[in-house]
Structure 1
Amino acid sequence: MAFTNLLVKNNLYNINGISNPLLICVRLGHVMRGKRPGIARSLEQRLQEENVKDPEMCARVNIGFPQLKSSRSEQLKQRLAHLKAQRSNEHIEKLARSNKLVIDLDKVQRDYRLTTGQFDLRVIADHYGIFDDLFGLAYFVPRTELNIQYQFDDDTFSIVYNGNVIKPAEAANAPEVSFNGTIDPITGKKSIEDCYWTLIATNPDAHFTDSSAEYVHWFISNIPNGDVKQGEVLIDYLPPFPPKGLGFQRFVFVLYKQNRKLDFSKYKLAASEQNNLEKRTFKTLDFYRAQQDHITPAGLAFFQTDWDESITKFYHNVLNMKEPIFEYDFPKPYVADQKFFPLKQAFNLYLDRYRDIKQINKEFLERKLAKTHPFEGPEKPLRFPNAHPIKNVPSWLRTEMRKSRLGRGRINDYK
C-alpha cells in the first residue's frame, strides 16, 4: 500500500492474511494508532471522567449577607431620572463640548464600591484562593468596605489594595483600620441599635507544621459601631514573617458582623503567649462553624508579602528561634548508561557527564589560576582569537581551545 503525505485512513488492514479492525493513520510518514486528534478524547476530558465530582457535594454556599435589590421598574426610574438631570444641565454640557469637564474620581470610586466593587472583590479573592483556604466550599460577598493602611514613616503609607505586595518592614506595626460600622450590611441604611464587629487577621500560608492551619496575627472582638480602638484585643498584632525561599504569602483580614455582644475570652492569649506560634495556630473554618449562629462575614481585605532583611532580626529577637531558610531540592539529572563508542557526541563533554561536577570545576579553576600572575593578573586575551591557527591537536580539544579564547562555555563561571 502506498503512503502519501496526506492523511490516509484504512478501517481494515491485513497482517499475515488476518484482517484486523484497527485504524491506522499515516501523516507525513508517521504512523498514528487509534483515533485522530479532534476525535480522540483529550487528557483533560479523561481526567474529568475519572475524577467525577458530585455537584451537590461540591456546590458552594454563600455565608454572607444577602443583597436586597429594588424592583426592575424602580431601577429604570432611577436611571431615567439621572439621565434627565444630566441632560438638562446646560453647564455640564458646555464643559463637555469644550473638553473642560472635570470628573470627580473620588465620587466615581465611591459609586463603584457601592455598585459592583464588592462583587469584583469576591472574584479577586477567588482568584487568590482566599475562600478555598479559609472557608472551604463557602464564600461571601463583602458588603462592608474595609479600609486598611500601614504607616511606614511620617509621610509614607502602605495601603492594602487586595493582592498588592507589602513588605514585612512596612507592616511591622499594627495598621489603621476603618469601616462604617453603623451601616446595616443588608439594608445599607444606618442602624438604630449599636453594632458590634470582630476583626481577624490570619496567614493561611505561614504554618510550619500543619499545612491546613493558619497563624492568627490579630484578633479584635466586640468593636462598637466601627471604632476599632474601642474593641477588645484578644490577640495582639503580630507582623508577617515569611521565611526566605518560600515566595509570597497571603495576609488576610476578615471582618465579621455580630448579632450582639459576644464572649470570646477562650481565644484570648496571655501576655507571655503572644509570641508563641503554637498558641497562635488557628483555623478560620472551625472558628466560623463554632460561631456561625452569632457572626456573619461582612468585610474582606488582603495583601501579599515576601521575605526581606528585617525578618532575620524578627525571628531572633521576637520569636526567639532560628530563622528558617528553605531551598528547593532539585533532583539529580538523569544520565543514561555509559556507552563504549558514543556516536555523534563530543568526546570530552560525554565523559564529563560521568564525572563529579566538583572535580570538573576544580580543574577549570586550577587551569585558570595557572595562567594568572599573582601581581599582574591574568594573561591579556588575544586581540583576534580566530586568527591564530591551532594545529596538531584532536578536534574536541581544538573546539575547547577556541571556546576558551572566545570566552564561551563553562570558562565563564570563573571570570
Structure 2
Amino acid sequence: MLKCVLGLIALICCSSASEVPQIFQNFNIVPDIITVAPKDNLKVKYLTGGGLEVLCGTRAEPSQVESTPWVTWHADHNSLYTLVMVDPDARPSVREWRHWLVMNIPGNLVTKGDVVTPYAGPSPPPGSGFHRYIVLAYKQLGKLDIGDLKSAPREQFRVAQFAEDFALGRPVAGNFLQVSR
C-alpha cells in the first residue's frame, strides 16, 4: 500500500524540478545510491512502446523500455556531461548493474557523447518485484578519459564512487522508473 501511495505521489509531484530531491528520498535513492539528490528533473521519454514519458517513479513493462530513450536536461551547452543509468535493486552479487553510460556529452546532446556502456533496457528477473532504474546527469569539469571503462563489467558499479573517482560532484539532474515482470 505504501509503495502505491509513494508511486502516486511521485507521478503527481515529479513534474516539478523542485520535488525531485523529496521523491529521491521517498524512494530511498538518497541515501541508498547517492548522498545528495539532483535539483533538476531529467526528462526521459521512450519513443517506442507507446511513447512512455518517465516521471519519477513511473512504472513500466520491459517491452516499453527496450530501446534507448530520448533524454534531456537543462544544460550549459559549453560544458560536458556524463549520463548514467543503474539498477540498484539487482541481486546483491551484481548490484548496482550499469545499464547505460555516456561521457563527454556536449550540453545535453547525448548522441554526441562517448558511449562507454551501450544502453541495455531494464529486464528484471521474473518474480523479483519492481526494480528502480535511476538515470542521472553529471556536469564534468572538462573532457574525461574513458580509458578502460569500456571493458569494465556492468555489474557491481557504484554511481557514488564513480562520481567521486571522476570528480563529478552531485548529479545536476535525475529521474527514475520502476520495472517489473
> After TM superposition, is the score higher than 0.5?
yes
Residue 268 of structure 1: CA displacement? 1.2
- Aligned positions, number: 167
Greater radius of gyration (CA): 1
Residue 260 of structure 1: CA displacement? 1.0
Residue 289 of structure 1: CA displacement? 2.3
- Per-residue CA deviations over 1:360-397 (Å, capped at 9, x if unaligned) read xxxxxxxxxxxxxxxxxxxxxxxxxxxxxxxxxxxxxx
Which protein, 1 or 2, shows the higher relative CO under an 8 Å CA cutoff with sep ≥ 6?
Answer: 2
Q: 2:124 aligns with which of 227, 232, 242?
A: 242
Greater strand percent: which structure?
2
Q: 1:119 aligns with which of 2, 11, 18?
A: 18
- Contact persistence 2:103–2:116 (CA under 8 A): yes
Q: Secondary structure at the match of 2:165?
A: helix
- What is the aligned-residue RMSD (CA, Å)? 2.0
- Per-residue CA deviations over 1:192-237 (Å, capped at 9, x if unaligned) read xx21000000000013525xx3000000000002111100000000
Q: 1:203 aligns with which of 87, 96, 100?
A: 87
Tell me which stretches of 4 or more aligned residues in structure 1 moved more than 6 Å: none
Counterpart check, 1:301 vs 2:175: yes
The one-letter code of the counterpart of 1:255 is A
Q: 1:170 aligns with which of 52, 64, 78?
A: 64
Alignment partner, residue 146 of structure 2: 264
Residue 152 of structure 1: CA displacement? 2.2
* 1:208–1:236 distance in 2 versus 1, CA, 3 Å: same
Alignment partner, residue 158 of structure 2: 283
Q: Secondary structure at the match of 1:289?
A: helix
Rounded Cα–Cα distance in structure 1 between residues aligned with 2:90 and 2:97: 7
The one-letter code of the counterpart of 1:283 is R
- Contact persistence 1:118–1:141 (CA under 8 A): no
Map 1:59-70 to 2 at 5 A: none
Q: 2:102 aligns with which of 220, 233, 237?
A: 220
Gaps (5+ residues) in structure 1? Answer: 1-111, 184-193, 274-278, 308-415
Rounded Cα–Cα distance in structure 2 between residues aligned with 1:195 and 1:257: 7
TM-score (norm 2): 0.84
- Contact persistence 2:130–2:180 (CA under 8 A): yes
Greater helix percent: which structure?
1
- Contact persistence 1:203–1:249 (CA under 8 A): yes
The one-letter code of the counterpart of 2:111 is K
Alignment partner, residue 251 of structure 1: 133
Rounded Cα–Cα distance in structure 1 between residues aligned with 2:33 and 2:74: 24
Residue 125 of structure 1: CA displacement? 0.8
Alignment partner, residue 181 of structure 1: 75
Residue 118 of structure 1: CA displacement? 2.6
Alignment partner, residue 152 of structure 1: 48
Residue 295 of structure 1: CA displacement? 4.4
Rounded Cα–Cα distance in structure 2 between residues aligned with 1:181 and 1:139: 19
Rounded Cα–Cα distance in structure 2 between residues aligned with 1:201 and 1:122: 17
- Per-residue CA deviations over 1:73-124 (Å, capped at 9, x if unaligned) read xxxxxxxxxxxxxxxxxxxxxxxxxxxxxxxxxxxxxxx97xxx33311101
